[in-house]
Amino acid sequence: MRVLAAMSGGVDSAVAAARAVAAGHDVTGVHLALARNPQTYRTGARGCCTLEDSRDARRAADVIGIPFYVWDMADRFHADVVDDFVAEYAAGRTPNPCLRCNEKIKFAAVLDRAVALGFDAVVTGHHARLGADGLLRRSVDEAKDQSYVLAVLTREQLDRSMFPLGDSTKAQVREEAARRGLAVADKPDSHDICFIADGDTRGFLAQWLGEAPGEVVDAATGAVVGSHTGAYAYTVGQRRGLHLDRPAPDGRPRYVLSITPKTNTVTVGPAEALEVSRVRAERPVWTGGPRPDGPLECEVQLRAHGDVVPATVELTADGLRAELRRPVRGVAAGQAIVAYRPDPGGDVVLGSATIAG
């Protein structure tokens, strides 16, 4: 097949491209330039989408022996990922920008362009498995598994995707990169949010949304216990940085329980008040088989690298409902809920939806 290898400049995508070549595919490498001003994005060990990454990707393509191009998708990335990130926080939700980038950029914009150019599929370095049956499964390396952020992909997108690393651990990928003479073999993984250069999410949002002073309210008493300069700076489950004016009567820590943009209020309370047993979600994507007619027993994951919880899931006319077998704390609107079916060949992704507020 003629495939396009998305090369981020990291070790995973370099080895994925090399494996695609070794499998006999006609491979072309492409690096996505996502920053309008690369100087404002993270650099070095915490990097992603930087000039350094572009150079690393080009060197890897040279070693592998494949053509290499850079595609400028900065405007599309800004509109679909950065603007969406800001808007979600302004609405009191907690988005996952990596999930949105996969959905809107790597497997929508890139795949659409690749198909238009005559490519059959896109290969990436995600740690997930896509078997002969076309079903998406967890990686064998649970610590690096990325099926959660890929669960938003449609059946059509998965049919044109390749994930060559799903049967390998990260250590094995690095060892292979070293054997192949790839300079990125020991390059650290990227961390945090690529488009927030200093890692200060609150400061980044303040630049876009400005200061919006409001009250922090105790859920039990309704008393005002503090103030904030923007409710967008908080997320459900947060404990640190609340700056409360008075301690709780019981002396126990307080956590963010909810954010209400309409009144610009942050509500806090004890840890047990964070427990959720029912989840309502919207915009479901179902790829793991026929759409179920009724309740389905499965397992769900409510945030990246979060706990997996047994649940009863039911698709509705306007979304998805999940009854959790045990309570989960810190569930925030805007995150994804992903349903899995335990399988001897690796947990199968059934589908995903976005947790509603």
Quote the radius of gyration of the chain (alpha carbons, Å). Answer: 21
Q: Which part of the chain has CATH 2.30.30.280?
A: 211-269
CATH topology of domain 2-180: Rossmann fold (3.40.50)
The CATH class, in words, for 275-355 is mainly beta
Of 132, 134, 158, 136, the closest CA to residue 146 belongs to: 136
Catalytic residue among 49, 98, 194, 298: 194
What pTM did the predictor assign? 0.91
Is 194 noted as a catalytic residue in this protein? Answer: yes
Selected catalytic residue, list 49, 98, 101, 298: 101
* CATH 3.40.50.620 intervals, the chain: 2-180
Active site residue 298: no
- Reported as a single tens digit per residue, the pLDDT across 36-83 is 765 555 454 444 567 788 999 999 999 999 999 999 999 999 999 999
Residue 33 assigned ligand-binding role = no
- Is 11 labelled a binding residue? yes
Residue 73 counted as an annotated binding residue: no
**CA proximity to 113, closest of 266, 4, 229:** 4
**C-alpha distances in angstroms, 12 versus 70, 166, 190?**
18, 11, 11
249: exposed, middle or buried (Cβ count in 10 Å: 0-12, 13-18, 19+): exposed
For the chain, give every residue range classified as CATH 2.40.30.10: 275-355
Q: Which CATH architecture has domain 211-269?
A: Roll (2.30)
What's the pLDDT at 357? 75
Query: SS3 for 168?
Result: coil
Residues of the chain with pLDDT under 70: 37-49, 191-192
